[in-house]
């Protein structure tokens, strides 16, 4: 008997955030490729700073804003999201500083971000859909639209491309 897992039905109001997670996973893939290709760590460090400043920081802030609107202050999911975002920020700062453990820090950042995105997709979003009324999700989504601008990852050089 074939074991099939049906994809979870995502509330349409969470789809834009979910779509942005694709960019986060692509960022992680690019880091893995860069390490595999032996890319100069200064180039990769610049990319991590670029991605944080132009894409990831705003995404994290929007998620926190959304959860602040939708969940009580002491809700465990809201607390976890904020703590994981702080951890990601610290990792980005350590990578940007050029720590002697830098190569390992790229790997830790990549793995932690993948794990965080998977947690949001598999646990946080279904939880929000279960505990937050759909009208509240819709209102928050409409308000969030005004905060969101297009995010473009146009970093050069494209060190992740195969040599």
Neighbours of 41 (CB within 10 A): 17
- Asked whether the beta carbons of 57 and 75 are under 8 A apart, the reply is no
Phi and psi dihedrals of 97, rounded to 5?
-75, -15
Query: What average pLDDT does the segment 76-91 reach?
Result: 97
- Asked whether the beta carbons of 45 and 102 are under 8 A apart, the reply is yes
pLDDT tens-place string over residues 10-67: 788 888 888 889 999 999 999 999 999 999 999 999 999 999 999 999 999 999 999 9
What letter does residue 6 receive in the DSSP assignment?
Answer: P
Average pLDDT along the chain: 89
pTM: 0.89
Q: Enumerate the domain spans of the chain.
A: 15-147
- Asked whether the beta carbons of 151 and 58 are under 8 A apart, the reply is yes
Greatest mean pLDDT among 9-23, 98-112, 118-132, 134-148 lies in 118-132
Which top CATH class is 15-147?
mainly alpha
pLDDT tens-place string over residues 95-109: 998 877 788 999 999
């Amino acid at each position: 008997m074939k074991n099939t897992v049906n994809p979870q039905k995502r509330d349409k109001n969470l789809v834009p955030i979910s779509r942005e997670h694709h960019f986060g996973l692509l960022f992680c893939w690019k880091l893995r490729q860069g390490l595999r290709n032996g890319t100069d760590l200064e180039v990769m460090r610049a990319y991590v700073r670029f991605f944080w400043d132009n894409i990831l920081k705003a995404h994290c802030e929007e998620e926190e804003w959304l959860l602040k609107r939708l969940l009580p202050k002491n809700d465990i999911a809201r607390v976890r999201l904020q703590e994981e975002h702080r951890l990601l920020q610290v990792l980005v700062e350590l990578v940007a500083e050029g720590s002697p453990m830098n190569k390992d820090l790229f790997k830790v950042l990549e793995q932690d971000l993948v794990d965080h995105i998977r947690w949001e997709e598999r646990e946080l979003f279904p939880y929000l859909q279960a505990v937050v009324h759909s009208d509240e999700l819709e209102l928050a989504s409409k308000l969030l639209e005004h905060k969101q601008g297009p995010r473009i990852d146009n970093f050069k050089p494209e060190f992740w491309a195969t040599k």
